[in-house]
Amino acid sequence: MDWMEKELERLNDASLERLLRGSAATPQLPGYTLRGERLLLNLASNDYLGLAQHPAIIDQMRETLLAEGSGSGASRLVTGNRWPYIVLEERLSRWQGSEAALVFANGYMANSGVISALVGRNDVVFSDRFNHASIVDGIGLSRAEHARYRHNDMEHLEALLNKHQDKRRKLIVTDAVFSMDGDAASLVKLAELKRKYGTMLMVDEAHSGGIYGECGRGLCNELGIQHEVDIHMGTFSKSFGVYGAYVCGSRTLIRWLVNKARPLIYSTALPPSIVTGIAAALSLVEAEQWRRERLFSLSASFRSRLLHAGFKVGTGNSPIVPVIVGDNEAVLRFSKALERKGIEAVAIRPPTVPEGTARIRFSLTAAHSDKEVNNAAEIICATGHQLGLIRR
Ligand SMILES: Cc1ncc(COP(=O)(O)O)c(C=O)c1O
């Protein structure tokens, strides 16, 4: 095992070693995170709507836990398909206006399972270069050809679509909002290309479900292209504040996935308490428009403060606000300096993002107040000056 030690040293020397951080202390507070004994303003979570500590979700989970027990006991195809799944999937298909829905244990398993169930050796997947790792891994598992197009470059995609006309099955797959960049995919154009070239279209709404669209249905709904999307996927781990993932689509699609998606077939079903927790979160996501309004207003003012200060900030209007620093060591210094000043801001480095684009990925939540976000923006700008990251 010596090689491992050496490789880890090499990663550490290049400021690329990843560390698990956190605290054994409790309790957690909405919008904050504990580091040791210190409370930090959390500008790094995906709890966009501030639901992860919501009493209605917790009460529902507790009630189900007491009634149904701690585990589901088996995979869904054996005896794990308990009533909360049936109720939730019906509600999800109504929410999304789809024929059917299927719950997966998490987004990683949904993406890897769905893609490897849809395509195989003689097929091709057209995938944005910035798509999430779970999509990339799903393509790898499927053994289909991976045709990566430059980020949001529709001309490049069209050239690849032309090149691969002879393939058996064709799938275009994209994040709706890109997780490390916060910008949106060109979904209207993707729907047009899907029609023109007769491909399947899969959209991952992990960072847009719950946030965009009527009742939080997502960006495809907001743009009016929902019915062009064959495979509509999203997670419950981010804006829903719980855990798990969904796929919505036709009855045939869901029937196919029940038969072919290996992470669904060969893994134990989520505990019933998680599933009813998701249902409670769905009620809040649908009803509480004020959370989305608050989130967008906080994100817009935070983004504009950082832009005006001279930071290189990602585009878009999502709650993901990346500040591109470039150098791996410099981004770690920035993150540590912010931590000393009471802000949790995580450095994202290659291979998660391309070489030379290391960044702090700030993300906002409706759990924060204007005052907290304004103070944080001030501290971030002052720290950027001190470290020589901005000149203005
Ligand atoms: C775009 C995207 N898809 C899928 C996932 C995986 O979701 P989960 O955390 O539920 O496994 C993530 C999570 O980080 C993501 O950002």
- Sign of the four-CA dihedral 312, 212, 352, 185: negative
Atom of ligand 1 lying closest to residue 177 CA? 1
Note if 179 is an active site residue. yes
Pocket (CB within 6 angstroms of ligand 1): 106-108, 111, 132, 134, 175, 179, 204, 206-207, 235, 237, 245
Tokens at 290, concatenated: 């004020």
Note if 238 is an active site residue. yes
Which overall architecture, per CATH, does domain 55-287 show? 3-Layer(aba) Sandwich (3.40)
pLDDT in tens, the chain (392 residues): 999 999 999 999 998 999 887 766 666 678 888 887 788 999 999 999 999 999 999 999 999 999 999 999 999 999 999 999 999 999 999 999 999 999 999 999 999 999 999 999 999 999 999 999 999 999 999 999 999 999 999 999 999 999 999 999 999 999 999 999 999 999 999 999 999 999 999 999 999 999 999 999 999 999 999 999 999 999 999 999 999 999 999 999 999 999 999 999 999 999 999 999 999 999 999 999 999 999 999 999 999 999 999 999 999 999 999 999 999 999 999 999 999 999 999 999 999 999 999 999 999 999 999 999 999 999 999 999 999 999 76
From CA 232, how far away is CA 228, in angstroms rounded?
10
CA of 11 to the centre of ligand 1 (A): 24
Atom of ligand 1 lying closest to residue 111 CA? 4
Domain boundaries, the chain: 2-49+289-386, 55-287
Across the chain, how many H-helices and E-strands are there?
14, 13
CA of 235 to the centre of ligand 1 (A): 7
Q: Domain 2-49+289-386: which topology?
A: Aspartate Aminotransferase, domain 1 (3.90.1150)
Note if 312 is an active site residue. no
Atom of ligand 1 lying closest to residue 134 CA? 4
The b-or-e profile of 196-209 (16+ CB within 10 A means b, else e) is ebebbbbbbbbbbb
CA distances from 112 to 257, 281, 330 (A): 12, 25, 34
Q: What is residue 206's DSSP assignment? A: T
Q: What is residue 268's DSSP assignment? A: B
Tokens at 133, concatenated: 């790792």
Q: Whose CA is nearest to atom 8 of ligand 1?
A: 107
CA of 389 to the centre of ligand 1 (A): 30
From CA 73, how far away is CA 76, in angstroms rounded?
9
CA of 173 to the centre of ligand 1 (A): 14
From CA 20, how far away is CA 364, in angstroms rounded?
22
Q: What is residue 177's DSSP assignment? A: B
Tokens at 99, concatenated: 């024929």
